[in-house]
Amino acid sequence: MRIIWSKNALNDLREIKAWISRDSVCYALRVVEGIIDLVESLSEMPARGHRVPEAGDDSIREVHSGPYWIIYKASSQSVGILTIVHMARDLIALPDDEEA
């Protein structure tokens, strides 16, 4: 199954790396690689994540990588990565990015 990263999700990944790099470049790379590995694994089991009730759409799901929610939309053809959100943030304001 194909993985499609939205612009929002790619920007989130860059921001996570930049923020953590302020303290440790090595740890920032480890966190980002962990997120990417988890996202890539969704191509094998896209339905394994939990539904996101705030989204109002049963195809929108989440998995966790450390303190980050990876929010994605699963379909029969692809997994669209919508956003990556730190657990301290509010999920109600999900980005509206239809590219994923």
Distance CA 44, CA 55 (A): 23
Report pTM.
Answer: 0.86
Domain annotation covers residue 98: no
Predicted confidence pLDDT, tens digits, the chain (100 residues): 899 999 999 999 999 999 999 999 999 999 999 999 999 999 999 999 999 888 888 899 999 999 999 999 999 999 999 999 998 876 655 555 544 4
Overall domain count for the chain? 1
Distance CA 71, CA 2 (A): 16
Domain annotation covers residue 91: no
Q: Which of 71, 81, 66, 34 is nearest to 51 (CA)?
A: 71
59: domain CATH number is 3.30.2310.20
| Per-residue confidence (pLDDT) for residue 100, from 0 to 100 | 46
Domain annotation covers residue 97: no
Domain annotation covers residue 100: no
Domain annotation covers residue 93: no
Residue 66 is given by DSSP the state T
Distance CA 44, CA 48 (A): 9
Domain annotation covers residue 94: no
| Per-residue confidence (pLDDT) for residue 4, from 0 to 100 | 97
Q: Which of 89, 39, 81, 30 is nearest to 60 (CA)?
A: 81
Domain annotation covers residue 13: yes
Burial of 72 (0-12, 13-18, 19+ CB in 10 A): buried
Domain annotation covers residue 70: yes
Residue span of the structural domain in which 27 resides: 2-86
Q: What are phi and psi of 12, to 5 degrees?
A: -60, -45
